[in-house]
Every structure is written in C-alpha cells, then in structure tokens.
Structure 1
C-alpha cells in the first residue's frame, strides 16, 4: 500500500502562508509503484532590483504533478501499461525521470515571456526551486532517488539526506546551463535489491524529525496518517516547517 500526506508548518500557519510541500504516491499496477515528496524553497530572493518573497510551492506542485504523471505512464515489465514508453526498467527509469523533469522546467522557462534576464532569474528563484525525494519499485527491487534534502526510511533505518543548507534544486539546471547545480545531470540514488525483506519504505521532507519517522506506526489509510500528523503538529517543536511524506508498507 502507498500512502501520502502533507501538513503546513507552524511558521507558515502563523504567517498565513501556503504549505510549500507536496506529496504523492501511486500504485501503477501489480508490478510497480512510486512515492514522491517535494519541498519548495522558503528563502527570499534578493537581486539588484529588490527583495522578493518565495512562492516555491508553485514549483513543488507543478514538478510533483509532472513527475507523478511521468511515472504513472511507464510500461511495466509484463506490458500491462499500454503506452508508447519503453519497458519499465529501474536501471534507467530514474535517469529518464531526471531528464524529463529538467526538460519540463526548461520548457516552462522558455515559454514564459520574460522582459529581461533579471526577471527570468527571479521567476526561477521565487517559483520553481524545490527539492525532490522519491522511490520507485517493482516486485524485485526498489530505487530511492533525491535532489536536495529530506529523509529516507528503509524498514527501521532512518537516513537523513543533509545538503548543508545548499540543496541542489532541479531548477538550477535551467539557469546558465546548470552551472549552479552540483548533480552532474542525475539524481542521487540508493538501490534496494531484495524486495522480500522490505517491509516499509518512506520518503519525507526535512520538516519531519528522525524521531517522528521512527515512531510512525503502520497507518490504516491516508486519513489515519493525516490525523496522526495533525496530532503531532500540536506539540511544540514538531512540524515547525511544512512536512510531506510518501509511505509504502507491505500488507
């Protein structure tokens, strides 16, 4: 089963700002599933013309929706998905997703009628900067991938993806030929070869704490997961920032 949920952080509630996180999970068919979380950058952007607030939930929602649609259209190994895409192979699906995401962002920038380079950079910095952490799995294997910070949870192990406050946002690849990015044109990846021993798999944004993810028990459905997150948010210190999670568990 794949579940997902988001919650607005305390800081954004007080400031009456939008949730900048996005989460989605989907079972493609009996052979494949995925989960994605994205976190829009909350930092203000400054240039020679002034200081501008961040609305990067726009990029998190757009890119998350695109990535989910891309993965949902992949053909599975037994050919159940009748699409024009090649067979669903984990060895290359993550690489193709990366290229597709960068192309999507590049097309958005290309089609927008900017007045000058300042406006183009400002648009990217205040609308499109977001992290992406995800997993995709088949019956045999699973691959976790990420660009930016967040968390992975593999069974009982919680792995912090720390970027030292310099997340490698995908949208950096569309600025000046990608010279601001450090990804070398690909996601960071971690492959889980043995699905038989995989009982749960979590991807989460950095609004979570590792202790919360360790305490998270198997929810019955997305509603019970959302309720648990709402209860956690009432305790001071939890979800100061927005939180998003996509959660696989073996039924």
Structure 2
C-alpha cells in the first residue's frame, strides 16, 4: 500500500537575484543631477538673499542707534559710510562692515566724486533726507532716511537708477587700516570746519569795515552840508 502512494511537492519559485542594469543606474544618476542642478542654485540664492537682508537690517539698526543718541545727548549724531571700502562708523568710532559682494550706488551725477556719505540726525528727532542704494549680484536694496522723524528703513527690489556705482577697492581692511581711514576723514572734517570759521570771521571783519567807512562818509557829507548852510546865512 505504501508502494502505491505518490507524493507531490509544490514547486517554490527561486528568489530573483536580478539587480539594476547599468543603463538604469545611469538614468537614475542623470535625474538626480538634474534635480541637484535646479535645487542647489535656488538654495544658494535664497541663502545670499537672507545674508543681504541681514546686512541691511544691521545697517538700519546702526542708523537708528545714532538717531537715539542724538535725541538723548541733545546734540547732532552722525554715521559715515566709506562708499568704496564698504564700511561705516559713528561718532563713537564704532564700525559696521559690509560684505565684500555688496556695493553702493547713487542716483545723482553730482555724487560721482564723493568718497564718503554722512547721515546726520538732530536732537529733535529729525534728520537730513538721504536715499542710497545697495546691490548684491542681482539683488537691490534702497536705504531711506526720512527728514521728519528721522526714520531709517530699506526696501528690497525697489527701482532706483544706478547713475554712480562705487566699486569695492582692494581687499578687506584690517582694524588698524580702518582706524587710519577714520582719522583721515576726522582731520579733514576738522580742517574744513576751521576754514569755514576763518572765512566767516574774515567776511564779518570786511562787513564791519565797510559799515565803518560808510559811516565816515555820511559824517563828512553832513559836515559839508552844515558848512554850506552857514555860508548861506553869512551871505544874507
């Protein structure tokens, strides 16, 4: 009976050991390269935009500090920016550096010979009106300082004609070099103020001398008139 028993075993398919072909790998790598080529520049551009905004925010805060100082100390406060070297400083010689890829531009031809730009804030909260542009690659920001209220702010992407653009000169300056530049402009400002004071003094002196001469002429003329009157009386 056992001899007539036939056993059947279900065949189980063997696991496939087939992998990716070389062509499939090449296609996958090509797709990954395309995705990376599109995503990486966008990410890098976004990162540069974030850095640009951060720099502009720091500059605005730097200006607002000067405005607060002017109001608290009851005297004018200043922030000066070196247009070619890309750094600015306040009256306390505190320095703010701009990244090397950021340049400054102005929309007036009269500013073509300028090397620095000074922002002035007054104790009553007002300021000298200013408008200056900053460019980083293709990104543009325009910095505004309003005369009433002395508000400083910036706008990304605002249209402003780049009449004069100040290219960055040389590499990054050391702290010592920056101190020398500040000293140079401080001495220049002092000299200019002294010259203006001397000119004002000379003009005042000349004006007083003219007044004195005119007074002498009037006196002599009056004396002459009195003499003529006396002569007329005697003739009569």
TM range (shorter): under 0.3
Highest Rg: 1 or 2?
A: 2
Whichever structure has more helix as a proportion of its residues is 2
The structure, 1 or 2, with the larger RCO (C-alpha pairs under 8 Å, 6+ apart) is: 1
* Superposition TM-score, scaled by structure 2 size: 0.26
